[in-house]
Structure 1
């Protein structure tokens, strides 16, 4: 049995994340821990009030409405878990630093499921916002970012740079998401030097071959790729695996991190783990 963490802040209840959990539960029984948080992290209340033009004040019924919303989502979560025969537990975070409480829970979870389009959107509507960035930096278990419309993946795109983090992500994916390992996997490495080969090529291929039936390796010339959006659209409905929320060869091309671009511009599921 695996323990998955379902994160829900404010009204941002991810039905696609619950659907994924239900599908995983059909293959192997899981324990789904529902983590219900206010729509804002109170430790950043100053940023929230400024951004929403409350001039330092919040509506008088704000806390009551937050409580009602969390309770409504908890009831919905319970109903859907019972309907799908999922074992579940619930934790409602109402403390000052709710996001820190969620991060603490990741230490005791196999994976956290996050709706990628609206996570803490009250704090910042453009994703990835500061709260998502903090979560991806500090989570102690793999994070699966799931768009509102979860289409069945047709392929897997593994962003490989030879660092330990990307292999940690692939190992966790192979362990947690076994049903997806039948999909064709493309290992992509971006080269910035003439003749540069896949780092640790023989060892990497040996490991991947043990877990994926159909895989190919592509060494791309990083200097020739000018538009990440155009490049990624060449892959059919991919599920993306990446090792860390940090700058790498991808960001040297596009001046921002690969994962930020994917989250902001594409409705693809992303499996991420930094391995620390």
Structure 2
């Protein structure tokens, strides 16, 4: 845990929020803020609604909510844990908010979907296996640990991949969330090849630069990858989508060549044949259209 992170406590009536995300259901964030401090994090907009003025990644509010008295209220509902925080950030080891949530939902038929960059989720395999439908998704947008370290303070890519494999082998559905894809940096096919034997689904999402972090990322590209400046200017300032259309075409051809099921803007549920993960093209932020 980072001593520089300001930790506070907040009381809320309920931790369950009806989701507006494409995956639907309920969105659950057991914390406000996230110490992973991802430089590209869209969730930094949450500062506007919480009164925080600190830099994103330097504060964490631990939520305290009234216990869920009727877990069956969520039977058959998708419950997404970690849409604007990571429920398994390092402080979860101490505060156990995500584990408490799972314990309160135990006995329901809620479909649990966890989005994380952590291997702490391994602690809760015992609980997760008690739900009829569970998906654990790890964000992996590079195999380069230096680039990862430049972008976030979460655990290493290798630790994420080892956790993914262990969860997969425990019988729980896994997703490799290749997001955000950095043009010219993220090697999509290399990641798929690395995870194909322990990922049921590979979900591809493009980098969408907006808000306060756009300048941060553009400055990073200028400093560390000057050879990509023209490409990023083309995509993010001139709004030319040729790169994404090319990547979409290349990915579809790659999937066909290797016999990987390929979907566009879809999130099918189920386990995949080992070595044949479903590849989902989710380039919806820039409104990419096929063909």
TM-score w.r.t. structure 1 length? 0.27
**RCO comparison, higher one (Cα < 8 Å, 6+):** 1
TM-score w.r.t. structure 2 length? 0.26
